[in-house]
Amino acid sequence: MSRKPFIAGNWKMHNTVEESVNLIEGLKAAKNKNNADIMVAPSFTSLSAVVRASAGTGFKVAAQDCYYEDKGAFTSQVSPVQVKGTGATHVILGHSERRSLFGDTNEVLNKKVAAALNHGLVIVFCVGETLEQREGGKTEEVIKDQLVNGLKGFSAEQLKDLVIAYEPVWAIGTGKTATPEQAQDTHKAIRAMLAEQLGKEFADGVRILYGGSVKADNVDAIMAKEDVDGVLVGGQSLIAEKFNRIIDYN
């Protein structure tokens, strides 16, 4: 089944508003020869400015997280209503840094998924294992738990726009990268899990991104794999020339 490629950049806690806008200007040089969906996820402070700067480009703009309540006494949190108010259309949920540093459990993420869906945000839902879990042979067990409990209670129809991002935690910011074969094997397993949970038609259509030290010099081999539908890029999405090369992968 043909799935439209999805190339995403997670800018994490980088860039001022001005730097974010300048980066968007640099990304306009990409030819997007693969007709991919292109998404950028700036810090909350830059969301509105990046939405404006992206006008006419077709770029999707995402928040890096959102809270599960619409409003209230939740200091520092940002609600899906506020995300929508910036003009952003997407949100990343379950990133490994949110899970490991800020305590986002599967149960918390399930609430965030509900809140994001309730406000029409397209979700990029992240799953992945640590090095200890991979070496212990628990990769599939961990990811299945994240999918089953994070997406519990939702139908294939409700999740029809969902994007999954597989990020081996041991390959994020470490310079280590899963081989294209490892990425393919895990993506194939994820697709099988989703078929069991939400049906084969859903699983065949859902896009699964690879995110783990993706670079301009390894993206071609990663994207060549059958079950890899795109990439979630960290550091190199902050450099226009590098990210443009990733967008225009061969």
Residue 174 pLDDT class (50, 70, 90 cuts):
confident
* Contact partners, residue 101, CB within 8 Å, separation at least 6: none
Domain interval for residue 24: 6-247
The CATH number of residue 131's host domain is 3.20.20.70
Which residues, in sequence order, are bridge partners of residue 163? 124, 207
In a domain, 171, yes or no: yes
**pLDDT score recorded for residue 172:** 75
Q: What are the DSSP calls for 80-100, one per residue?
A: HHHHHHTT--EEEE--HHHHH
pLDDT tens sequence across 85-107 = 999 999 999 999 999 999 999 99
pLDDT tens sequence across 47-99 = 999 999 999 999 999 999 999 999 999 999 999 999 999 999 999 999 999 99
In a domain, 182, yes or no: yes
**pLDDT score recorded for residue 170:** 86
* Contact partners, residue 95, CB within 8 Å, separation at least 6: 10, 64, 65, 126, 167
> Are the beta carbons of 180 and 219 closer than 8 angstroms?
no
> Are the beta carbons of 168 and 213 closer than 8 angstroms?
no
Report the percentage of the chain scoring pLDDT > 70.
Answer: 99
Count of CB atoms within 10 A of residue 136's CB? 12
pLDDT, mean of residues 221-247:
98
Residue 212 pLDDT class (50, 70, 90 cuts):
confident
In a domain, 137, yes or no: yes
**pLDDT score recorded for residue 171:** 81
Q: Is 70 exceeded by the pLDDT of residue 144?
A: yes
**pLDDT score recorded for residue 245:** 98
Report the percentage of the chain scoring pLDDT > 90.
Answer: 93
Which residues are part of the catalytic machinery?
95, 167
In a domain, 102, yes or no: yes
pLDDT tens sequence across 11-40 = 999 999 999 999 999 999 999 999 999 999
In a domain, 11, yes or no: yes
- Choose among 30, 33, 35, 78: nearest CA to 54: 30
Counted domains in the chain: 1
In a domain, 1, yes or no: no
Going 106 to 123 to 100 to 7, the CA torsion angle's sign is positive
**pLDDT score recorded for residue 1:** 64
In a domain, 42, yes or no: yes
pTM: 0.97
In a domain, 136, yes or no: yes
Residue 176 pLDDT class (50, 70, 90 cuts):
confident
Q: What are the DSSP calls for 171-199, one per residue?
A: GSSSS----HHHHHHHHHHHHHHHHHHH-
pLDDT, mean of residues 170-178:
76
